[in-house]
Amino acid sequence: MPGPGNDVVRGASLVDRTTPAHRVRARSLRARARWTGLAFAAPPLALYGFVVLWPLLQSVQYSFFDWDGVSQATWVGLKNYTGFLTDPVLRSSLGHVLVLIVFFSLLPIALGLLSAAMLTRARQPGMGLFRWIFFLPQVLTSVVVALMFKRIYSSEGSLNTLLDAIGLGGLTRAWLADFTWALPALGLIGTWVTFGFCMVLFISGTSAIPDELYEAARVDGAGAVREFFAVTLPGLRGQIGVALTLTITAALRTFDLVWVTTRGGPGTSTMTPAVLLYRAAFQNPDVGRAAAIGVVMAVVCLLIALAITRITEKD
Amino acid sequence: MHITDMRRAAVAGAFAALALAASAACTPGGSSASSTTAASDVSTDVAAAGNVTIKVSDFWGSAEGEWMTSLIAGFEAKYPNVTIDRTQEDWSQLLTTLNLQLTDADGPCIASANNGWASLGTLAKGGLVRNLDDYSKAYGWDSLIPATIARQNEFTTDFATIGSGSLFATPVARVSMIGLYYNVDKLKALGLKPPSTLAELESAATKAKAAGQIPFAYGSQDGGSAILLGLQALYGTADSINDYVYGDTAVSAKDTGLLDASKELKTWADNGWLTPGFEGVDYNTAVANFVGGDGVFRFEYTGSLGLSADQQSKFGYIQLPQVADSATTVGVGAAPGAMVISAACTHPDVAAAFLDYLMSTQAAQTAVDHGMIPLLHSDVTVPASMGTLSSEAAGAAAVGASDGFVPYFDWSSTTMLDTITAQMQQMYAGKTTPEQLVDAVDADRKTGLAGRAG
């Protein structure tokens, strides 16, 4: 990952290629630069270490124990981790997260790209208003969003009223209580929330693409579709990377939506790792298991972020 | 290997080594459980303690909170040298933070915990709350508290078993139960008398359904286990349910009436006796529906309907007798909180006196005055205007007469409530059978017991 440390190292390898006569001087300069840099970075690093790294290490430690959070813990090795393979509920929660990634990440990004492409092709007055409207869900508190959709999806909610009104009364159901539909219904809430964010991100990205590229594409006879794939999409690579990272990690962490609406039900059909983590940590004191879930989620998030950065920042 | 890669590997290795060292060096968790109260002298003399302030944290709001406030006022009037500093917190808020609060040197001296392994068991095992055996002897609590209620607060001091051993919490002079509520006007309009057996209840439900009424107001979206546990108490004996919950492996879930109760409930759901679309109705909506007049019956925890003074007498309460033996009444019932004294409390004598006061006749009478069901004392006066309360008190008395109090079934393991809730939802959807529900309950308890043994 790029960072100040790497820059120092890269600089060092450049200096190393200079002639032997300059080496000693260069090395002392290099050392001083490193210490000055470290001195500047020390206070934030210490704070970061205290509030992030130390608890992280503690979680890793806890994850090897069977611990109720109060009394003496017992070492259980990797037992908390093997739960991901043996516990059907935990295993299925990973599958649910994959479904949620489609709704929280892939769908909003596809829709965001589409709308960004359409909006940039034909700039209309009042576009700012549309952007603002679509961005609105992003500024609402997630609990408010969840409560709102809980009503919309309920037996007497507006979704069923609408279906009745257009003659599709046969489809009505309590959406969040249906074993088949509860997870997609939750996912669509996520789509609704993140779509506006993706769109605004992509529109601001397209404004950075030089108009000349579009003109050149048009001169070359490219249609709307061709133009999108040849100019807009490559130009938005960085933004897509950001959107992917943020939305996928959001999907992995899904807790509030599920907790407020279904608590993982019906059955365990909307259970996510984050809900299981909360239950293990705070309701059924099993801190080791909670820590193991947390560690796995953190590692998966990190790997995804690294992979996305690698792919989207490559030239 | 490139030099930067090597450095990265070295850093990663150092972190891994550090993490391992941290893991190996110390084991999380404080002192191992030991009873710290061995030969300490206890006193029942509150006045001798001088001017003291006792911090109390509890989870009682609205009417229950008023009950607590008036008892604090009464205690402070009785002992002017004592100030009770009360903090009221939301139920789940208090229960999820109580272990941290009791570790804090400035934390509460008295707190309301929840019975069972998850809350009280964890606190007792962690040595955070006091063993109350010495105070029990000093105040004579062992003769005041009925055995079935006392068991709910007992653990053996090796913390392998719940339901026997030392007393780690006290009840209060009121009880919370599961029973059957009915809408008085609706039942009258149907031309029916309040059912006195399960068979009569079923025939009443059939008639209500035929008359276009909702027989049972219900919702299962975020819980709704009261109906199953209420039915279980009609089939299972008090001993079998008690023993099962307290971890007796000789008893399996189908011996506790759970299978019969699940089958019965599934039939009710299939008959259309539950609120239409109940799968998508959450708990609060279900309660509001019933109080608002949608539904003739509802199995519910007492005190959860939130009846106002003028709604009293609009709803009646029935504690149905057992199916096999109509002379015996078994009911899920417990004090609505397990009062603990923090191990760090510097004035345990005063704290114990307050717990004793919470179990006094006066506390029972104050409970009735605030519309709640008394426990421990029968010499209380229920005002005639409180129709619902007098039927509830009669139900509690019937259970008491049969010595039929059984604990909440979900105390049998820390994950039991989640398991039952999920299994019930699957059963309604036809994804599991009542037999599979019972098996899942056994499996859950087995895992829980194995975790405690290991």
Question: What is the tens place of the pLDDT at every residue in A247-270?
Answer: 999 999 899 999 999 988 898 999
What domains does chain A contain, in order, with CATH numbers?
A: 4-62 (no CATH), 80-313 (1.10.3720.10)
Q: Containing domain of residue B311, as a range? A: 176-334+398-453
Q: With a CB-CB cutoff of 8 Å, which residues 16-75 of chain A face chain B?
A: 57-58, 60-62, 64-75
Question: Does residue B18 lie in a domain region?
Answer: no
B6 interfaces chain A, CB cutoff of 8 Å: no
Distance from CA of B29 to the nearest CA of A (A): 5
Contact B126 A68 (CB under 8 A): yes
Contact B23 A60 (CB under 8 A): yes
| pLDDT surpasses 60 at B31 | no
Least confident of A21-25, A185-189, B23-27: B23-27
Average pLDDT in the A118-141 region? 78
Question: Does residue B248 lie in a domain region?
Answer: yes
B80 interfaces chain A, CB cutoff of 8 Å: no
Residue tagged 């990690």 (tokens):
A249
Contact B123 A70 (CB under 8 A): yes
A68 contacts in chain B (CB < 8 Å): 122, 125-126
Rounded distance, CA B214 to CA B203, Å? 14
B99 contacts in chain A (CB < 8 Å): 69-70, 285
| pLDDT surpasses 70 at B429 | yes
If pLDDT is split at 50, 70 and 90, which confidence band does B42 have? confident
Q: Is A224 exposed, middle or buried (0-12, 13-18, 19+ CB in 10 A)?
A: exposed
CA distance readout (Å), B401 to B321, B329, B331, B404 = 12, 8, 11, 8
- Is residue A56 within 8 Å of residue A41, measured between CB atoms? no
| Shortest CA distance from B7: residue in chain A | A9
Contact B425 A64 (CB under 8 A): no
Question: Does residue B23 lie in a domain region?
Answer: no
Q: With a CB-CB cutoff of 8 Å, which residues 121-180 of chain B face chain A?
A: 122-123, 125-128, 159
DSSP alpha helices (H): ranges in B1-56? 3-25
B116 interfaces chain A, CB cutoff of 8 Å: no
HSE (side-chain half, CA atoms, 13 Å) at A295: 22
Structure tokens given for B351: 């704290």
If pLDDT is split at 50, 70 and 90, which confidence band does B272 have? very high
Does residue B299 share a domain with residue B446?
yes
Nearest to B7 among A9, A57, A73 (CB): A9
pLDDT, residue A34, reads 83
pLDDT, residue B308, reads 81
pLDDT, residue A59, reads 92
Does residue B317 share a domain with residue B352?
no
Does residue B326 share a domain with residue B278?
yes
Does residue B137 share a domain with residue B281?
no
Contact B126 A71 (CB under 8 A): yes
Number of domains in chain B: 2
ipTM of the complex: 0.72
Per-residue pLDDT tens over the stretch A30-87: 778 888 888 888 999 999 999 999 999 999 999 999 888 877 888 988 989 998 888 8
| Shortest CA distance from B11: residue in chain A | A5
Q: Are strands B315-318 and B166-167 parallel, antiparallel or unpaired?
A: unpaired
Question: Does residue B101 lie in a domain region?
Answer: yes
Average pLDDT across chain A, whole number = 85
Does residue B186 share a domain with residue B123?
no
Count of CB atoms situated within 10 Å of the CB of A172: 17
Question: Does residue B22 lie in a domain region?
Answer: no
Average pLDDT in the B54-74 region? 92
Distance from CA of A69 to the nearest CA of B (A): 7
pLDDT, residue A24, reads 63
Least confident of A4-13, A300-309, B15-24: A4-13
HSE (side-chain half, CA atoms, 13 Å) at B205: 23
pLDDT, residue A10, reads 40
| pLDDT surpasses 60 at B176 | yes
Rounded distance, CA A139 to CA A147, Å? 15
Average pLDDT in the B118-131 region? 91
Structure tokens given for A20: 């032997």
Per-residue pLDDT tens over the stretch B203-253: 999 999 999 999 999 999 887 899 999 999 999 999 999 999 998 899 999
B7 contacts in chain A (CB < 8 Å): 9
Rounded distance, CA B367 to CA B371, Å? 6
Question: Does residue B392 lie in a domain region?
Answer: no
Query: At which of B349, B381, B413 does a domain end?
Result: B381
Does residue B268 share a domain with residue B416?
yes
CA distance readout (Å), A128 to A111, A202, A235 = 18, 14, 22
CATH of the domain at B80: 3.40.190.10
Least confident of A276-280, B145-149, B152-156: B145-149
Does residue B353 share a domain with residue B330?
no
Does residue B371 share a domain with residue B247?
no
Structure tokens given for B368: 């009735």
Residue tagged 């919470």 (tokens):
B358
Rounded distance, CA B216 to CA B392, Å? 19
Question: Does residue B235 lie in a domain region?
Answer: yes
Does residue B302 share a domain with residue B254?
yes
Does residue B339 share a domain with residue B316?
no
Does residue B424 share a domain with residue B307?
yes
Average pLDDT in the B137-155 region? 90
The sign one gets for the Cα dihedral B69, B72, B78, B83 is: negative
Rounded distance, CA A218 to CA A216, Å? 5
Does residue B340 share a domain with residue B327?
no
If pLDDT is split at 50, 70 and 90, which confidence band does B22 have? very low
